[in-house]
Amino acid sequence: MIVEYKSQYPQYANLVPKNIRDPKTGTDSVSNYKYIVLVDNKCVLYANLENSEQEVTLPAISEPTPGAGKGIFAAPTSGWNGSNKYFQVSN
């Protein structure tokens, strides 16, 4: 994902660390951090949290949402780390 992101968005490539990855399930080739970029340049970077007890700070959403802000949302199903909680950063 990181190589793909850097090739698609070279203007942001220097902002992404070389070793960014999910500490539990990420590898050197698959970070397990996900992103969505819309045609209107709204974007979101998100990750599945390990701790399902995290407090929800974005109650209005249940999936990664570009333009919905920064915080934690609860999805209807668990993700790759076994929790239904996700952290996102978006514009």
1 confidence band (pLDDT: 50, 70, 90): low
Cα–Cα distance for residue pair 44/82, rounded to 1 Å: 21
Instruction: Enter the DSSP assignment of 2.
Output: H
- Report how far residue 42's alpha carbon sits from residue 45's, in angstroms, rounded to the nearest whole number: 11
* DSSP H or E run through 89: strand 85-90
* 11-48 pLDDT per residue, tens: 777 766 666 777 788 777 778 888 899 988 899 999 99
pTM of the complete model: 0.77
Q: How many domains does the chain have?
A: 1
Parent domain of 24: 2-90
* Alpha helices per DSSP H over the chain: 2-8
